[in-house]
Each structure stands twice: as C-alpha cells, then as structure tokens.
Amino acid sequence: MAADRYLSFTGTAPGRFLTRRLGLPQPVPLSRWSPQRPRLEGTLRHLVAGDGEPDPALDAVLARTGLRSAEETTTAPVAAVVLDATGVRDVAALAGVHAALHPVVRSVAASGRVLVLGAPLDPADHHQAAAQQALEGFTRSLGKEIGRGRTVNLVRLTDPGAAESTLHFLLSPRSAYVSGQVIEVGTATGAAAPHPEGPRTALVTGAARGIGAAVAETLARDGARVVVLDVPSAGADAERLADRLGGSALALDITAADAGDRIAAALPDGLDVLVHNAGITRDRRLVNMDAERWSSVVDVNLASVLRTTDALLAGGTLRPGGRIVATASIAGLAGNAGQTNYAASKAGVAGLVRALAPRAREAHGVTVNAVAPGFIETRMTAAVPLFIREAGRRMNSLAQGGRPEDVAETVAWLAHPGSGAVNGQVVRVCGQSLLGA
C-alpha cells in the first residue's frame, strides 16, 4: 500500500493549521479493531424519538456491546449514540429526531458512532413511510457533516434480538469504514442454525492476496476453517496463506464450467460460508474496449459467481444456516468512466443478491448479501497515478482510503452465525463515498 502522507501531515500542528486555513479535508486516523482494542472505549447514550419508551429488549442487546450507559447529565464525550426512532410515524415526530440528537452530536468522541434505528416502511401508511424514509436522508447527511472519523448509519429493524450481530458490528471498531449506510434487518425465521459439529467451513475465492487474503484471515480469526481458492498461478501464495491459517488451498480457475462441481468435490462435508471475492479489471473507455476485455471481466466478476452459486446451492454443498457474501463495488452503484465492463459486472452482483436472497433463504436456509468496497488501499490502488489516488482517498466523508481489513470485517459480520436476519443487503464499505447514492 502507498503511504497516505496527507493523513500523516494533517496530524501535525502545522498540518492542522494549514488545512484549516485552506479549507482542505482534515481526516482523522480511524480506530480499527485489534486484540488490544476489541471494542469502542467509553460510554453509550441511548435516546428515543417518537412514540414509546425505551425497549428493554434493545437495552439488553446494547448492554452486551460492552459499552456502559452514559449518565443523563454527563457532558463528557461518549463513544456512541443510539437513537431509537422506530416510533416515528409522522412528520411531526421528526422534530423529536432533531431534539434528541442536536444537543449531543458534539459530545460524540473522535471515531465514535451515531446509530439511528428505524422501522420498516409501512406500505399501508404513507405518513409513516414518509417519516421513516426521511430518516435515510437525515442519516446520510449527518454522516457527511459530522467529521472527526465518526460514522452514522441507519438500521431498519423489527426485532432487536435478531439485529444483535448488526448492532454489535456497527457499534464496534470493526465498522470503522462503514458510514452513511441503510441496513434492513428482518427476523431470523427461516434461516436454520449453523452446522453444529466443529468449526464452520468458509471458502474465499481470489484469496491469495489483497482483500481476499484479509477476508480469509478475519474468518479464520473468528474460528472458521478456511479454504483459500485462487488461480493456479497464485498457488504458492495461496498455499502459504492456508498453512498460516491452518486451512487448505484450492487451485482453481473460477471461470471453468465445472468450477462448482470441483469445489463440491473438495468439500464433501459441506460448506457454511461462501465468499465471492475473485475479480479483475480491464479498463478502457467503451469506444476503445475490445470484446475480450468486456467478456473476461464479466465472466470472472459475474458469470462465475452465478454459475458456482447455482451449482453449490443445487448440490446441497451449502449447508442450512449458510452464508453467501459476494463482492460488488461502488463502481457498480455509481458508475465509473473507463469501467463499463467492471461496473456492469458489479451492478449485476447487486442484482443477483437482491433477487436470490429471499429464494435462497426459503429453499436452503442460506442468506445472500454483498459488500461494495470503495477506495481501498491495496497494491492495485497504490499503482494509480498520484492525483487520481488522492481524489479517491479524499472523496468520502472520512476523507481517507479504506483498508482490506475494513472489507474483511464487514464480510465477517455478514457471515456470522448470528446474522441470519440480514439478507439481500448490499453494504458499501467506502467511508460514505461522495459519489453515487
């Protein structure tokens, strides 16, 4: 990865002075998960807007995050603010959102969290739907102005218990680069319990290096037995990583017609987590793009995902309670000049997730979600020309690039046994990119 010298400079006294005078971005180094810092440090303030009182079930879930409840009268910085806005049912009640958060936003510590809890939109009540949809614009806007490495997200939920893994993720250092997101959490009904015997088995494609390697490492840290899949030319790297993680390597071209069958044969005892990470770019503007550049990208990034997913579901390799996590991209959501092939493939991944998720859960007890990375500091982005790289880093609410572990932590949350109520979601890991929705 290329060093972010601007981020380092803004951490100095001259850097802070100069960037403030010139109105330049002032990124704050993010506090990410580590064994020494597994949770946010500080207290949590739980507020309510709209009708109703604090929910004891939600209180219990929040207590298990390890964050202590802040005293009502404290003026000290807090690590997180959770606003329960599930009872906001009309426009008048939106005033309660302002009244609750206006006095406390400044008290959120650097790299802290603001989490707004909303309710599903009621199609039979357009006043409730309007008020709840308003929370989305509010959340995204607050995320773009709050600064100091703090994140703001909205979770639409019906059952706090089913949302526990999601609340723990968003209220932890693991979600450092996830902001401005709207995540819908249903109920866990229909998602069978994970395979009870031994550790879960996880397969990560394109895992020999970069983001895929970080995903494999994070899943192994969380107790999974990881199969590191990559093309034969990356076999040595895949073997070394698998040996270090106590897993196994599988040399395979994921675009092969029989890739799904070969994966199933390598996993006779079944699979619990399937992470589609393999991907390539072949950038050219459309007028200069030949058919091979188009087809190779679409085949690796989308067609292979469809083929292998279909084969592993149909053959029963993915066990009930399983998780499929695919890799989309903000390029697929917002578009990117010179990447019509890549953006098409990644938008296709989002379409796959949204269409397959309800059917896979109903028929197989398997959830299907996706991560959509933004500018992530990898060897590939380190090779991008300086000014383009700097634009990619600064054009998000956190004013810095993400790291492979940011994507990996998000995958690990979606792959968690307790995340059965999270289904059909495409979660951007982009620091709330200023491009696109």
CB contact at 8 A, 93 and 68 = no
User: Residue 121 above 80 pLDDT?
Assistant: yes
What is the C-alpha to C-alpha distance for residues 178 and 247, in angstroms, rounded to an integer? Answer: 29
> Which pLDDT belongs to residue 3?
86
Per cent of the chain over pLDDT 90 is 85
Per cent of the chain over pLDDT 70 is 96
pLDDT for 161-200, tens place per residue? 999 999 999 999 999 999 999 999 998 764 444 455 678 9
Q: What is the dihedral of CA 18, 20, 23, 29, to 10 degrees?
A: 100
Task: Output the CATH code of domain 24-185.
Answer: 3.40.50.720
Domain borders along the chain are 24-185, 201-429
Tokens 């590191």 correspond to 228
> Which pLDDT belongs to residue 436?
60
pLDDT for 263-293, tens place per residue? 999 999 999 999 999 999 999 999 999 999 9
pLDDT for 37-56, tens place per residue? 999 999 999 999 977 778 99
Confidence of residue 218 (pLDDT cuts 50, 70, 90): very high
pLDDT for 142-157, tens place per residue? 999 999 999 999 999 9
pLDDT for 233-248, tens place per residue? 999 999 999 999 999 9
CB contact at 8 A, 78 and 109 = yes
Residues in the chain: 437
CATH class of the region 201-429: alpha beta
pLDDT for 335-384, tens place per residue? 988 999 999 999 999 999 999 999 999 999 999 999 999 999 988 777 77
CA distances from 137 to 107, 144, 184 (A): 22, 11, 15
Angle at 351 between CA 348 and CA 357, to 5 degrees: 135
* Mean pLDDT for the stretch of residues 1-17: 88
CA distances from 213 to 179, 281, 310, 408 (A): 23, 18, 24, 9
> Which pLDDT belongs to residue 382?
75
pLDDT for 84-119, tens place per residue? 999 999 999 999 999 999 999 999 999 999 999 999
Token couple for 199:
């550790």
Would you name the residues annotated as active-site residues? Answer: 342
Decide: residue 42, CB within 10 A, 0-12 exposed, 13-18 middle, 19+ buried: middle
What is the C-alpha to C-alpha distance for residues 433 and 330, in angstroms, rounded to an integer? Answer: 8
The yes-or-no answer to whether 24-185 and 201-429 have a common fold is yes
> Which pLDDT belongs to residue 192?
46
What is the C-alpha to C-alpha distance for residues 396 and 385, in angstroms, rounded to an integer? Answer: 18
pTM of the model: 0.95
Confidence of residue 74 (pLDDT cuts 50, 70, 90): low
* Mean pLDDT for the stretch of residues 58-68: 94
